[in-house]
């Protein structure tokens, strides 16, 4: 199993550009999520999904869109990049028993810089 994979590993954008961060998992996990990690602030939940066709907002959803058309993929779209979105982005997945979450497996991260 590849686990959770993310592409790209590094990305530089100019202000106003849009892009999609890719995330895929091969563990048949129902739950997938996106976090951003900034120095001194831990990880903050952007969006999450409990299954195909179902998404919900987390703590910091503004400026980001997600969709979940398959169990395996959960892309994160930046609509109009801003310098404040410079961060490391982690995707994670876990088995979910309804409202019960289990261990989350994180991808390797994408380091995004917006100039």
> Positive or negative, the Cα torsion across 67, 69, 71, 77?
negative
Distance (Å) of CA 83 to CA 19, 113, 114 = 14, 7, 5
**Residues in contact with 68: Cβ distance below 8 Å, sequence separation at least 6, in sequence order:** 32, 49, 51, 52, 53, 54, 55, 74
State which residue, 14 or 39, has the beta carbon closest to another protein. Answer: 39
Q: How far is the CB of 12 from another protein (least distance, A)?
A: 18
In the complex with another protein, the residue whose CB is nearer, 91 or 114, is 91
Q: Which is nearer to another protein, 14 or 98 (CB)?
A: 98
Min dist. Cβ of residue 38 to another protein (A): 10
**Least Å distance between CB 16 and another protein?**
29
CA–CA dist 14, 91 (Å, integer): 23
Binding site for another protein (CB under 8 A): 31, 33, 35, 40-45, 48, 50, 56, 58-59, 90, 96, 99-101, 103-104, 106-109
């Amino acid at each position: 199993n590849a686990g959770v994979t993310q592409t790209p590993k590094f990305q530089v954008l100019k202000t106003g550009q849009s892009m999609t961060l890719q995330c895929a998992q091969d563990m048949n996990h129902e739950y997938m999520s996106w976090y951003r990690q900034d120095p001194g602030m831990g990880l903050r939940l952007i969006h999450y999904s409990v299954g195909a066709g179902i998404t919900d907002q987390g703590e910091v959803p503004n400026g980001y869109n997600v969709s979940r058309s398959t169990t395996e993929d959960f892309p994160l779209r930046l609509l109009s990049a801003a310098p404040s979105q410079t961060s490391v982005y982690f995707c994670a997945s876990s088995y979910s028993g309804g409202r019960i979450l289990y261990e989350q497996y994180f991808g390797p991260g994408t380091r995004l810089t917006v100039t």
